[in-house]
Amino acid sequence: MAGNRDIGIVYMDHAGTTPLASEVLGAMTPYFTQLFGNPSSIHTVGQEARYALDEARERVARVLNCRPREVVFTSGGTESDNAAIVGVATALQETGNHIITSSVEHHAVLHTCQHLESQGYEVTYLPVDADGVVQPETVHRAITERTTLVSLMYANNEIGVINPLPEISAVVKQRAAELSRTIVLHTDAVQAAGFLDLDVKKLGVDLLSLSGHKFHGPKGTGVLFVRRGTAFLPFILGGGQERERRSGTENIPGIVGLSVALEAANARREEHGRHCAALRDRIVEQVLERVPGSKLNGHSTQRLPNNANFSFSGIEGEPILLGLDMAGIAASSGSACSSGSLEPSHVLLALGQSAEVARGSLRLTLGKDNTSEEVDYLLEVLPDLVERLRKLPSLTTARP
């Protein structure tokens, strides 16, 4: 094992979470101490918190190019996805019970749709092409006279593939007009923030989900954009906060932090995208060249600039991750560890990969602070690690 390094932990799991930016922590700190008020209170302390809440909402609205009142603050991407899907499905249930999503969505979407299926809703799980892209014509064919909601992610959390949302939106609008009905379009944009344009007018979406900790903001914070006029029933009931769309006292420190982080990430997204893409492209080129039996999963160019997802024939993802971790490199896999065994990635299975290949995935997701020296170290460690693991029969993906 290569062991000559002085660069500390090499963190290449930015799709999992990101470190809190120092400017974000600085913006949040006063709201933990002096400015601790409840924004629903009418006294001065409460109104200071209300002002911070309004200012944060305006920051987010500028990034999304929407009205501030269309921004709903949540506890994260999972809540935003749940609220969007359940909120629209229940609001429009008298006009139809058909929901369209894809087979490669985040589990926050898939499991919510599966729950609604158990309640009598009909769900269509669209296939993707060999690169992991949802084609607009596939959406067109799936829409029926009972369709109320289409939920398709902007960029995939495992393989980084970007869906053509403006084209999909045009198809949804066309079919809605032909059928003289309301069809709402939601997108999970959790992985897109900080790398792609979040202008909801250009995207043509009615709802959009974000998660603060994916772009150097605090954990436990999220956003749900709800376009004005969109049928939507609240997911959480109580005091009627967030214009009665999400009850509960607002997390002012977290909301302030999220808004500052989103504004900064959006302002620097082209710069950070170029930085990450240069490192990512070098990783892809070298891994495919130096590791026999390696494969890049997903579209070669229509993907997030920081994402590289590989499969390695004959070896599971878990021992690769553990080996990298022992070498001081933090990465992840699309596979899920369940009951002591590694289950194949549902995304890779949807791409037509075998269960064996889908068990052997490695996701490397870069951030603004990753360096060329860290990439050098990864490329020193990974080929040797895969070669050594393949020589250990107990760690291969062979099944009886």
Residue boundaries of the structural domains of the chain: 22-267, 269-395
**Among candidates 69, 32, 78, which has minimal Cα distance to 244?**
69
Active-site choice (66, 113, 276, 337):
337
Residue 333: per-residue pLDDT: 87
Question: What integer pLDDT is reported at residue 241 of this predicted model?
Answer: 86
Identify the H or E element spanning 347.
Answer: helix 346-350
CATH number of the domain located at residue range(s) 22-267 in this protein: 3.40.640.10
Question: Angle 74-247-238 (CA atoms, 0-180°, nearest 5)?
Answer: 155
What residue type is assigned to position 26 of the chain? G
**Spans of the chain, pLDDT less than 50:** 1-4, 337-340, 398-400
| Confidence (pLDDT) at 395 | 57
d(CA 382, CA 1): 9
- Rounded to whole angstroms, the Cα distance separating 180 from 303 reads 35
Nearest to 96 by CA among 139, 149, 138: 149
Two structure tokens written together for 357 = 């290949």
The runs of H, that is alpha helices, within 29-164 are 44-64, 77-91, 107-118, 136-142
Strand partners for 91:
none
Structural contact between residues 13 and 332, judged by C-beta atoms closer than 8 angstroms = yes
**How far apart are the C-alpha atoms of 307 and 277, rounded to whole Å?**
8
Convert the pLDDT of each residue in 333-358 to its tens digit: 875 544 345 678 999 999 998 888 88
Q: For the full predicted model, state whether its pTM sits above 0.85.
A: yes
Report the half-sphere exposure of 22 (CA within 13 A, side-chain side): 0
Beta strands 294-296; 207-211: pairing state: unpaired
Q: What is the three-state SS of 241-303?
A: HHHHCCCCCCCHHHHHHHHHHHHHHHHCHHHHHHHHHHHHHHHHHHHHHHCCCEEECCCCCCE
Question: Quick check: is 66 catalytic?
Answer: no
DSSP secondary-structure letter at 163? P
Instruction: Supply the DSSP string of 14-64, one letter for each residue.
Output: TTT--PPPHHHHHHHGGGGTT----TT--SHHHHHHHHHHHHHHHHHHHHH
CA–CA gap between residue 347 and residue 297 (Å, rounded): 10
Q: How far apart are CA 37 and CA 46, in angstroms?
A: 4
How far is residue 63's CA from residue 66's CA, in Å, rounded to a whole number? 8
Q: Give the CATH class of 269-395.
A: alpha beta
Scored b (16 or more CB within 10 A) or e, 140-179 reads: eebbeeebbbbbbbbbbbbbbbbbebeebbebbeebbeee
Distance CA 211, CA 219 (A): 8
Q: In a 3-state reduction of DSSP, which class is residue 369?
A: coil
From residue 40, give the alpha-carbon distance in Å to each of 56, 157, 247: 16, 36, 12
d(CA 161, CA 191): 10
CB 93 within 8 A of CB 117: no
CA angle 324, 218, 75 (to 5 degrees): 110
Q: With residue 355 as reference, give the H or E element that holds it.
A: helix 355-359
| pLDDT for the residue 394 | 65
Hey, which residues does 338 pair with through a beta bridge?
341
